[in-house]
Structure 1
Amino acid sequence: MTPLLIIGAGGFARETAQLVEDVNAHIPTWELLGHLDDDPGLHGTSVDGVPVLGGAKEIDRYPHAQVVVCTGNPRDYASRWRIVHRLGLPATRYATLIHPTASVSRSSTVGPGSVIMAQTVLTASVRVGPHVSVMPHVTLTHDDEVSGFATLAGGVRLAGSVRVETGAYLGAGALVGENLTIGAFALVGMGSVVTRDVPAEQVWLGAPARYVRPATVNTGVDR
């Protein structure tokens, strides 16, 4: 089996560890070595039975391991961007993790470092970029494009030909109409119904979704 490290030890990382167990129960694939997290209080502990081996800098001790970065929440949804750019690893080091119950069509693609959780559907010619988080029960329909570092929380639904740009965050249950664009590092709130394009680095909420305020985004590096 291929050795695997999960960067992060919070909720998303713990869910990813369970995804790995489900993959291995279906087809033995991954040897999960543990988590790497920069919170020193977690070092030497375990979460859900998986050890926290140290901080992200410890990755140099595991040159043959595949890696997936599993961090981010609505308060700081650019953390994966910062960590991946700080690590500077080649794309070949990153694992692509797809839950056995996800339905990914043969015409769809998923980039390195991305995680596709349970009961997700990619229907036809869907393109998911690198380091994308797709949580359970998400539906991506024909010709959707989700760019790198985006987060689609549980139950998000995209109509056809939607474009989600780099680093955007769509909250749980958000609905996006056909042919619309969610701009880079924008945030769409939980349960929102998007009927117009959302510009980059803005927060939109409601049904229909409307502009609320500028997004507070800390990428830590030039974009």
Structure 2
Amino acid sequence: MIHPLSDVQTKNIGDNTSIWQYCVVLKDAVIGSNCNINAHCFIENDVVVGNNVTLKCGVYLWNGTRIADDVFIGPNVTFVNNKRPRSKQHVQTPDTIIHRGASLGAAAVIGGGIEIGAYAMIGMGAVVTKNIPAHALVYGNPARIMGWVDEQGNALIKQEDDAWYSANGNKYRLTENGMEKL
């Protein structure tokens, strides 16, 4: 479903995706299946959005943004794609990559070229200036790791055997890339 009050130029949209009113999607953007793009969103040309992604109102995705499957992006999350902005000048920034299952809380700011690991949870209003490992719970300005979460967003608890456990008994271990399910 594409709302008639939106300007959607791309044909690269998967099945069962909804794009609500007052959105602009440029012609080379790629959007997966079963996505929900809420009102007042903007998606530039060199953007890829996976399947089952939710973009709440007021999210703008700039060139070089890569969103994996099952990602939630809260209202007014701000993505930055130029580390040294100047009028009429654009410095190429590496892609911003949001991995599978990550959740970004309302009004978070994501710096250009940042990578957010799978199932990470970014708190509302967080200012993300560095890469975030898988399953990390981060918030604050600048965002810092405050804990670890499972695939459903529940806290992981460290036990005496140096393993981490979810409420449902799944076991994880901390690696240099974040939490890894065992």
TM-score in terms of structure 1 length: 0.57
SS at match of 1:203: strand
Q: For the residues of structure 2 that align with 1:26 and 1:173, how far apart are their CA atoms?
A: 25
Q: Tell me: CA distance 1:200–1:95, structure 2 relative to 1, closer, same or farther (3 Å).
A: same
Q: Does 1:127 align with 2:48?
A: yes
Deviation at 1:124, TM superposition (A): 2.5
Indicate whether 1:216 and 2:150 are aligned. Answer: yes
Deviations 1:108-151 (A, max 9, x none): 11100011010001123110000000000001111100100000
- Which residue, 113, 118, 137 being the options, matches 1:184? 118
Deviations 1:185-214 (A, max 9, x none): 000000000000000001000011000001
> In structure 1, how many angstroms separate the alpha carbons of the residues matched to 2:134 and 2:64?
21
Question: 1 or 2, which has the higher helix percentage?
Answer: 1
Q: Which amino acid aligns with 1:159?
A: V
> Offset of 1:26 from its aligned partner?
5.3
CA distance in 2, matches of 1:97, 1:188: 24
Aligned-CA RMSD value: 2.6
Answer whether contact 2:101 2:151 (CA < 8 A) is retained. Answer: no
How many residues align structurally?
Answer: 137
Aligned to 1:102: 23
**Superposition pairs for residues 81-160 of structure 1, below 5 Å?**
94-160=15-81
**Contact map agreement 2:119 2:150 (CA 8 A) in 1:** no
CA distance in 1 between partners of 2:152 and 2:25 (Å): 32
Rounded Cα–Cα distance in structure 1 between residues aligned with 2:152 and 2:50: 20
- Which is bigger in relative contact order (C-alpha 8 A, separation at least 6)? 1
Given residue 135 of structure 1, which amino acid in structure 2 is its aligned partner?
A: K
Letter in 1 for 2:99: E
> Alignment partner of 1:127: what SS?
strand
- Give the Cα separation in 2 of the matches to 1:203 and 1:108: 30
Paired position in structure 1 for 2:127: 193
TM-score (norm 2): 0.69
Structure 2 unaligned regions, length at least 5:
7-13, 82-94, 154-167, 169-180
2:28 & 2:101 partners in 1: Cα distance?
A: 24
